[in-house]
Chains A and B, each alone.
Chain A
Amino acid sequence: MAAPRLFRPAARLLPSRLSSTPLLPNFPRVARAPSILCSRGYASEAGAKEVTVRDALNEALAEELEGNEKTFVMGEEVAQYNGAYKVTRGLLDRFGPKRVIDTPITEAGFTGLAVGAALAGLHPICEFMTFNFAMQSIDHIINSAAKTHYMSGGIQPCNITFRGPNGFAAGVAAQHSQDYSAWYGSIPGLKVVAPWSAEDAKGLLKAAIRDPNPVVVLENELLYGQAFPMSEAAQKNDFVLPIGKAKIERQGKDLTIVSLSRCVGQSLNAAAQLKQKYGVEAEVINLRSVKPLDVETIIQSLKKTGRLMCVESGFPMFGVASEILALSMEYGFDYLTAPAVRVTGAEVPTPYAVGLEQMSFPQEDTIVNQAAKLLRL
């Protein structure tokens, strides 16, 4: 099942010989670089340059393929077609068909094959056109990749990286718009990362490939084309981020906003609005890693601000936000001065129509309004 395969919405953004008109004016890409970054002036920092998330991922893949001959990339359309979302662009030309491998439309087949290769000692990077299609092969990811190391008594490691876009994209409806952070985050034996910026993308993907465990890298299609400043250090080929460490993207003293993936950008914009409208200083934590979860950073921040809000785009029940709220109660109950709040996707299969779709996920004003309510402003 892997369907669209049906859709390759990213291809819409690429120059096409067919289209003379600008594509999809009625589908505004809601994700933009948060204004907070502009005011911070990252781009003017010495040596920093603007890099899209797509290019950062491509760079990470190229560097790891270059540096470790046990790695290879496998997935639907990753080679000849340069990837459905062009993340693997140029890799086939550079590393050849033994390292960059196209597959038939058989998620169960190529995921199983990649897991087998990992159990045999290689370091595969398994790309899903989107994580929605990984449902066809989730048995291999969870029952084989995640558990074999433990069940074998430690003699059978599985060094594999699963990556691809996760969460909702624009106009692809229920069966292609789903956030799997909570699904994979609940499995012992897996590591799960969810990058937001270009630096996150590069550092976390490289860490995932190098990590001896199975790691799920949950990217976001709407972020692929977004450019972020990338520091000089991150441009080097030895740049790796630690898995399990969150990043405080914005310092604050009044409210802690914990978020991941694309919602980090929205939370930063919301924090800027909170400052402008109410003079409130919100601290924004970019989780980066869903599992292991950086509980310490969250609780330290909570101790400082006394108020906690979690923003994510998954469904409301049993989600990442539910988990963080539970942890805040277990480890930081005495520091909370107000009930913690979660802002999540709506309890509805993602609808197609653009108006309904927007209402199904947290928007910046949802975050601002909920924060104002929490702070009784």
Chain B
Amino acid sequence: MILLADSRTLYRSLLSSAKIPRRWGSSISQRPGSDRVRFPGAVNSKFTTDMEFINPTEVSHIPTYRVMDSDGVLVDKTRKPLDIPKEQILEWYKNMLTVSVMDVIMFEAQRQGRLSFYMVSAGEEGISVGSAAALTPDDVVFAQYRETGVFQQRGFTLKNFMSQLFANQHDNSRGRNMPVHYGQNYPRIHTISSPLATQIPQASGAAYALKLQTLQNPDIPPRVVACYFGEGAASEGDFHAGLNIAATRSCPVVFICRNNGYAISTPTLEQYRGDGIASRGIGYGIDTIRVDGNDIFAVYEAMREARRIALSDGGKPVLIEAMSYRVSHHSTSDDSFAYRARVEVEDWKRRDNPIIRLRKWLENEGHWNEDIERDTRDQLRKDVLKEFGEAERELKPPLRSAFEGVYEEVTEEVQEQMQDLKRIIETYPEEYDIRQFKDGINGL
């Protein structure tokens, strides 16, 4: 705040400085006779006397990067061979299979009423596994809710998944969060948040923080944030805000859009006009690529390169649009055959999906066959069912945790309630079955 007496001196000093014209180094002015615009908002645009509106339908569409075709054959015969060890590729394949096997079982389990909600990622396993494979464990992930493969690839175990789904004592969220809203401390994956697209600006902020941390302490290895979302979420204002702030603040964040054709029932045709989500990245001045999401090699290579770009020049955002088809229903609360033909889905399932494509490649290379496939699937099924059963039978979190979590220290009123509850349970032990809670009465 400027006091009145001071404002006069300030005014005088402004007047005196006005006498000497000053120009900042970054200031922009239109030079006489130039053939280009030098306005602050557009500094290298040529003048033209042709009044021509750009018609987006006439601009050629952004191409889609792919490495192998739907038969699992590398398209470009002249390219250098894949520099990925066979063991790693087999691990990716098994991770995709694990997610796929678990999805089928948990979807059925929801139908039987054994959990309230589940979301499968059929058709999109390649995007999540392939992209996560290019991250280091120190990189940070913000996911939406259809990236089970990212968790799987980053070391989330079946036990971790099942504990969260059944909200037992090993569930980080202690039964407070919806199923499939997983989270992990290290390798860091922020807990899933239901409201769509909120993760996008938050990812930009997290990336900015990582950048500053590395600037302040060069011993910290450079890290990126990977941020996942669907093409439907890209309609939210948060998408636009998040991309713009990431571009202007030079945040090392890789945005991965899973364009799977449907946002619940809304097909992409009604979701947006224009050339997909990729075309928007260019508008924000962000390095952008579109890849074939059913081709795990393409996803991996694009992500690896995106990570490199994101860390170059002191940090900048990158957008990857990975194309796929949502084979699954949106969630267990959705019956997608109400708005799309079953035959269309079956067609995609059979003809092209990331798992079948990689399997064909593995078979072509002689790394895989029908017998290994059957044995692996059987084993995975057994593993999932075993963890499923154990998680369902596992003890619930201690009674105490029902009262905790809002304030760091439990308030006096709540302490009284806890004591009341304990007294009541001890007075009428036959009325309350507390064996299912960890530590029984001592859990209070």
Interface residues of A (CB under 8 A from B): 1-9, 11-12, 14, 16-27, 76-77, 80-81, 84, 102, 104-109, 132-133, 135-136, 170-176, 347-349, 351-356, 359
Contacts and interface: CB of A to CB of B under 8 A. Distances in A.
A18 B111 contact: yes
A2 B127 CA distance: 23
Contacts of B119: 6
B10 interface: no
Contacts of B338: 81
B221 interface: no
Contacts of A107: 236
Interface of B: 111-114, 116-117, 119, 145, 167, 173, 175-179, 181, 193-198, 232-233, 235-238, 263-266, 270-272, 329-335, 337-339, 396, 402, 405-406
A347 B405 CA distance: 11
A359 B339 contact: no
A24 B116 contact: yes
Given A104-B263, A106-B235, A136-B237, 16 more contacts: A1-B197, A3-B195, A6-B331, A7-B331, A8-B264, A11-B335, A12-B332, A18-B111, A24-B113, A76-B266, A77-B264, A81-B339, A104-B266, A104-B272, A171-B178, A176-B178
A176 B334 contact: no
Given A1-B197, A8-B333, A176-B194, A104 B175 contact: no
Most chain B beta-carbon neighbours within 10 Å: one of A5, A173, A349? A5
Most chain B beta-carbon neighbours within 10 Å: one of A1, A76, A174? A1
A327 to B, nearest CB: 25
A171 B113 contact: no
Given A6-B145, A173-B181, A105 B175 contact: no
B371 to A, nearest CB: 32
Nearest to B413: A347
Given A80-B339, A105-B232, A105-B271, A11 B196 contact: no
A368 to B, nearest CB: 17
Nearest to B144: A3
Contacts of B238: 1, 136
Contact of B195 (A2, A349, A352): A2
A4 B179 CA distance: 13
A318 B354 CA distance: 52
B394 to A, nearest CB: 13
A223 to B, nearest CB: 18
Nearest to B173: A352
Given A24-B113, A136-B237, A102 B176 contact: no
Q: Is chain B's interface secondary structure helix, strand, loop, or mixed overall?
A: loop
A345 B369 CA distance: 57
A93 to B, nearest CB: 14
A135 B193 CA distance: 14
A174 B176 CA distance: 8
A352 B167 CA distance: 9
A104 B235 contact: yes
Contact of B236 (A2, A22, A23): A2
Contacts of B396: 353
Contact of A4 (B113, B270, B333): B333
A111 to B, nearest CB: 11
A347 B335 contact: no
A104 B113 contact: no
Contact of A352 (B145, B178, B332, B334): B178
A41 B334 CA distance: 38
B437 to A, nearest CB: 10
Contacts of B116: 24, 26-27, 170-171, 352, 354
Given A7-B117, A102-B270, A105-B232, A172 B178 contact: yes
A21 B266 contact: no
28 contacts: A3-B195, A4-B331, A5-B196, A7-B331, A7-B333, A12-B333, A18-B335, A19-B111, A21-B112, A21-B113, A26-B114, A26-B116, A76-B264, A77-B265, A81-B265, A104-B232, A104-B272, A105-B271, A106-B236, A107-B236, A108-B236, A170-B116, A347-B406, A348-B405, A351-B175, A352-B167, A356-B176, A359-B402
A360 B59 CA distance: 55
Given A3-B194, A132-B195, A21 B111 contact: yes
B175 A352 contact: yes
Nearest to A108: B237
A105 B229 CA distance: 13
Contacts of B232: 5, 104-105
Given A4-B331, A136-B236, A349-B176, A104 B270 contact: yes
Contacts of A4: 194, 331, 333
Nearest to B264: A5
Contacts of A106: 235-237
